[in-house]
Amino acid sequence: MVRLAAGVLGLWLGAAGAAFAAPADTVTNPSIETINTARAAVVEALNKAPLGFRRILFVSAIPEGFAAYQPRANNIFAADEPLIVYTEPIGVAWTKNGDEFSSKLVVDFDIRSPDGQVLAGQKGFGEFALSAREEPLDFMTHIKLDVTGAPAGSYILGLTIHDTNSGKSTTTDLPFEIK
């Protein structure tokens, strides 16, 4: 009975999909045309934007996806609490290979004292690669750093992203405190 129901559902979905999947060139939908025009304008703006961050902040947990994050109430961390940073890079260069676009960002970090002394860091700490059929409008990453053992005090987290397609880099500082 379950197999039969799954088969019927599969046929129904297939028939429904066929009914709604008319060739794009035979159906003119003003809403889709408007969306495609707006999307093209956003892609153009993103391609012209300098490499940077639309949004970058400390969050309270690993984000579930784009815009699915919980901001921290403050930038004060317990001694054994990891630093979790949510980012939305913009100005990312996309390379077209066949019918796919791809990007790759490499991340460096350093932790500095308020007077600028580098206390810890790593070049090439993380890599974020993405491939898609269209240039994405929304792109997010997250970075998690374990600072266990750091003494109480004020610090600055410096994050640098390198776009391997364009050769461009950008750095952002996030002050934080360990109590």
Place of tokens 């003003």: 30
Q: Residue 114: pLDDT above 80? A: yes
Q: What is the pTM of this model?
A: 0.79
CB 113 within 8 A of CB 119: yes
CB distance 125 to 173 below 8 Å? no
Tens digit of each residue's pLDDT (9 = 90 or more) over 6-15: 333 333 334 3
Return the pLDDT at 122. Answer: 97
Q: Which residue has the tokens 């996806």?
A: 65
The predicted structure's pLDDT at residue 6: 35
The string of pLDDT tens digits covering residues 63-82 is 999 999 999 999 999 999 99
**pLDDT above 70 (res 51):** yes
Predicted pLDDT at 139: 86
Record: fold of 50-178:
Immunoglobulin-like (2.60.40)
Provide the 10 A C-beta neighbour count for residue 54: 14
- Kindly state the average pLDDT of the residues 142-169: 96
Query: Where exactly does CATH 2.60.40.10 map onto the chain?
Result: 50-178
Average of per-residue pLDDT across 119-142:
93
Q: Which positions ≥6 away from 178 have C-beta within 8 Å?
A: 76, 77, 78, 79, 147, 150, 151, 152, 153, 155
Q: Do 127 and 164 form a contact (C-beta atoms < 8 A)? A: no
pLDDT for res 27: 60
- Return contacts of 42-45, CB within 8 angstroms, 24+ apart: 42/137, 43/135, 43/137
User: In the predicted model, what is the mean pLDDT of the chain?
Assistant: 87
Q: What pLDDT sits at residue 15? A: 39
